[in-house]
Structure 1
Amino acid sequence: MSIEPFEIPSIPPERLALLKERLKNAEYPNELEKDVGWTYGAPRWAVEPLVKVWLNDYNWETARAEMNRWHHYHATIQDLRVHFIHEPSNNPEAIPLLLINGWPSNFYEYHKVIEPLRDGVNGGQAFHVVVPSLPGFGFSEAPKLPGHGVVKNAEFLDQLMIKLGYTEYVVHGSDWGGSIGKVIAMKYSDRCKAFHTVFPLCSPPPLSSVFSDPLKVGKFLAYKLLGADTVYGKGTTKIRVSFVDVIFDREGGYRCIQGTRPYTLAYGLNDSPVGLLAWVLEKFHNWTAHSADKEATEGLPETITVDEFLTHVTIFWLTKSMPASTRLYYENWNSTEISDVNDGCVTIPTGIAYFPGENVRLPREWIEANMNIQQFKDYPVGGHFPALESTEVLVDDVQRFGNLLKNKKYIQ
């Protein structure tokens, strides 16, 4: 596995001209005369202003200059070129930390936490920060064969940490990164010494544990009859019935499409920058915490700037990687990987930071039955992208977890 320096590139002039042309001549779809907010999806009144900013005001070179402050590399792992950021700390007590994002974000999700974690902001624990682009996301090459799901991603990223010389490290994950991080925690615990996540997924207490833990099993059975609010507390959980459940989970539509027919969807996402923007915007709107009624608000919460959002979208558009990123849903829906990961138990020290706007929130007792919880904090604000929405809170939580690991000598 070779490692080569890499620099975030400028947009080639001909491709930039094509983008401008497509944005300028966008054809917007028909909508109802009555304003229905976001209930039918991303409305034109939220999409069109962002298209105009992307066309007239957004500057990729400004974002590129920020990103190129960090050290970027390409590593060839097996037969794929994988992009990653590697920012070693000057602190001799720093802990190696692997940060893994999910969909529909990319490595840029962590742009505000890289330096604070590297430098040990506010006198907290410092880290050697590694932020990869998952295969098929951003500047990483897309998988060439079927079957590249969370397990294969975990294998790739563990190999990356080995190549970087880290014999011990901590993994943090959001969204798909939470599932990939859980696989790393379970399969590579000889090197991965701790797991931190904002997106803990696990199975409910098995019925076979009725004798060892009758209360948890009894509450689970009551939940099936009476509902989560009655059993676990009103508004404290968001339990997904199944991966593609759209009857009880209106957010499940995109998972159905990406998990069954990603090729067909890919034509629109790859060919239309407006279609790409709208597809991503819906999730950045629905999965984040807003101070006002979501149905009446514009696309983004106050915590995520237009430029931050457009940088995410531009990375996908420039690299033509959105179609490949959606295939991760297909690979995991059409295998037993997700159920296997959810059923598995993490024995290494685990830290959980929970945010109220997260789109899946399981009862704490389910998580405690499946993971070796050493730190658990339920925060009052924030959503699915806490590295963007609640940056200082997340940094502090990761630092406190790092201190705990050092103090208890879970990691040297």
Structure 2
Amino acid sequence: MATTQQDIIPFTVPSLTEDQKTILQDRLSNSTYPNELESNVGWDYGAPTWAVKSMAETWQHGYDFEVARQEINQWKHYHTKIDDLNIHFIHEPSTRPDAIPILLCHGWPSTFYEFHKVINSLRDGVNGNQAFHVVVPSLPGFGFSDAPKATGYGVEKMSSMMNALMVKLGYTKYVWHGGDWGAIIGKYTAAHHSKNCRAFHTCLPFVLPPVPTPRNLLFHPLNVIKFFSSLLLGFDTMYGKGKTVLNWATFANAELYYGCGYRAIQGTRPYTLAHSLSDSPLGMMAWMLEKYHEWTYHEDEKKAESVSLPPTISADEFLTQVTLYWMTNSMSSSIRIYYECLHHHEMIKVVIPRVNVPTAISNFAHDVAKLPKEWLETATNLVHYKEHATGGHFPGLEVDTLLVDDIQQFGKKLRQLKKKTSKL
């Protein structure tokens, strides 16, 4: 069980102030919508006015943050100083004696609220399965965590801070789960803070392919051969159709992946973009809506063109994420991690190291990238792998029961490993 620290201060998520409510209503009532083509181009040019306007009307007239706030405040929230920044986190210890500490880390454009459907299930060990002591932080610059006032708060720095948070709570050995930046920071943590981060679960792995290193040639020669064969015959031929989705994960390969424009802007000129996103609640919401539409699983791709969100994510859930960004003015500070990561070449530090701690991968159907199992076996200590026919980039919102089940199954395997090795 975690220890109590004097500088861990209880926190309650506040209501919108009267000024915030007035400003939000005024801005949404007097929004200027863009000039668009007469022909219907769906979402090809980005978030269309019909989708943004409909969501704005819901935000203005059909959404009540107080409902979400009541749910959010059922959990124990805290602030604590880590490297002179006040870091917000939820801490829900389990009553189960066999519970495993786990950190659930969000990404962008998301918040701690992404996990609102899974916290209780993991804490309580739903269906009699593995239980967890659940910690859900807000990354620095996101939501109710302080925004960094200096440069350098990228993957390496945030990894160190999140690891320090878990140790401060008394969890000197813990599991990390994350997607998006939570996956990137988690991979770095699993590789560089393995004394404390003793297991890693993600839905978005970042690893090298099976290149012919001495280790790979010794332990995974067939995976190396298969990889080089795929360069000649194609990934789909060697690994199966749709098993390898790279989306050319650099910051500016628009010729190969049209969806990467946001990364190029946020990674190179975040200040310029931040003025619009901070000043206009409509603009910020539209910037987020495109991603919640594009990165999620739609069962019928043709019908997807005429809807804003998949049925698995409600308008209220999406607007809670948006409202948390808007009320804390944290969109501008949240996007700076792209700049820090790009300019400090941090993805090299993330991708190259092998993860030696037990690793689990949940492969959801419509995440932004997918890698073959052979790559994961070569680059990690893979002990659990599950492919899903549904779900996308936000599984905690879209397919929470599947995510919970995967994490619990991984936890069960960790318990079995502990009995064998006494290392976790």
| Equivalent residue number for residue 147 of structure 1 | 152
Match of 2:297 among 289, 301, 306: 289
- Please tell me the residue identity of whatever aligns with 1:334: H
Matches within 5 A, 1:10-159: 10-159=15-164
CA contact 1:351–1:374 (8 Å) conserved in 2: yes
- Once the two structures are superposed, residues 278-337 of structure 1 have per-residue CA deviations (whole angstroms, 9 ceiling, x without a partner) of 100000000000122255231100000000000000000000001111111111111221
- Once the two structures are superposed, residues 57-115 of structure 1 have per-residue CA deviations (whole angstroms, 9 ceiling, x without a partner) of 11011111110000000011111111000001111111111000111111000000000
| Equivalent residue number for residue 171 of structure 2 | 166
User: In 1, distance between residues paired with 2:217 and 2:317?
Assistant: 51
CA contact 1:168–1:411 (8 Å) conserved in 2: no
Deviation at 1:214, TM superposition (A): 4.8
| Equivalent residue number for residue 230 of structure 1 | 237
User: In 2, distance between residues paired with 1:309 and 1:335?
Assistant: 32
Identity of aligned residues (%): 52
CA contact 2:100–2:132 (8 Å) conserved in 1: yes
Aligned length: 412
Ranges in structure 1 where 5+ consecutive residues have no aligned partner: none
Match of 1:199 among 201, 204, 207: 204
Is residue 361 from structure 1 mapped to residue 370 from structure 2 by the alignment?
yes
Is residue 216 from structure 1 mapped to residue 237 from structure 2 by the alignment?
no
SS at match of 1:408: helix
SS at match of 2:175: strand
- Once the two structures are superposed, residues 130-170 of structure 1 have per-residue CA deviations (whole angstroms, 9 ceiling, x without a partner) of 00000011100111211111111110011101111112111
CA contact 1:193–1:348 (8 Å) conserved in 2: yes
Deviation at 1:177, TM superposition (A): 0.5
Deviation at 1:411, TM superposition (A): 6.0
Is residue 243 from structure 1 mapped to residue 250 from structure 2 by the alignment?
yes
CA contact 2:188–2:349 (8 Å) conserved in 1: no
Q: Please tell me the root mean square deviation across aligned C-alpha atoms, in Å.
A: 1.5
- Once the two structures are superposed, residues 333-383 of structure 1 have per-residue CA deviations (whole angstroms, 9 ceiling, x without a partner) of 112211121011110111111101011101211111110001001111111
User: In 2, distance between residues paired with 1:23 and 1:411?
Assistant: 55
SS at match of 1:302: coil
Is residue 352 from structure 1 mapped to residue 361 from structure 2 by the alignment?
yes
- Please tell me the residue identity of whatever aligns with 2:315: V
Q: Structure 1 residues 214, 165: closer, same or farther in 2, change over 3 A?
A: closer
Deviation at 1:207, TM superposition (A): 4.1
Ranges in structure 2 where 5+ consecutive residues have no aligned partner: none
User: In 2, distance between residues paired with 1:221 and 1:205?
Assistant: 9
Match of 2:321 among 309, 312, 315: 312
- Please tell me the residue identity of whatever aligns with 1:367: L
Q: Structure 1 residues 316, 261: closer, same or farther in 2, change over 3 A?
A: same
Higher alpha-carbon deviation: 48-57 or 359-368: 359-368
| Equivalent residue number for residue 3 of structure 1 | 8
CA contact 1:5–1:74 (8 Å) conserved in 2: yes
Deviation at 1:218, TM superposition (A): 3.7
Deviation at 1:388, TM superposition (A): 0.6
Q: Structure 1 residues 6, 155: closer, same or farther in 2, change over 3 A?
A: same
SS at match of 1:312: helix
Deviation at 1:176, TM superposition (A): 0.8
User: In 1, distance between residues paired with 2:64 and 2:327?
Assistant: 13
- Once the two structures are superposed, residues 24-82 of structure 1 have per-residue CA deviations (whole angstroms, 9 ceiling, x without a partner) of 11110011000000000001111111100000011011111110000000011111111
Deviation at 1:15, TM superposition (A): 1.3
Q: Structure 1 residues 98, 83: closer, same or farther in 2, change over 3 A?
A: same
User: In 1, distance between residues paired with 2:224 and 2:258?
Assistant: 28
Is residue 339 from structure 1 mapped to residue 344 from structure 2 by the alignment?
no
Q: Structure 1 residues 157, 232: closer, same or farther in 2, change over 3 A?
A: same
| Equivalent residue number for residue 271 of structure 1 | 279
Q: TM-score, normalised by structure 2?
A: 0.94
Deviation at 1:183, TM superposition (A): 1.5
User: In 2, distance between residues paired with 1:239 and 1:220?
Assistant: 14
Q: Structure 1 residues 30, 226: closer, same or farther in 2, change over 3 A?
A: farther
User: In 2, distance between residues paired with 1:255 and 1:286?
Assistant: 14
Q: TM-score, normalised by structure 1?
A: 0.97
Match of 2:394 among 362, 377, 385: 385
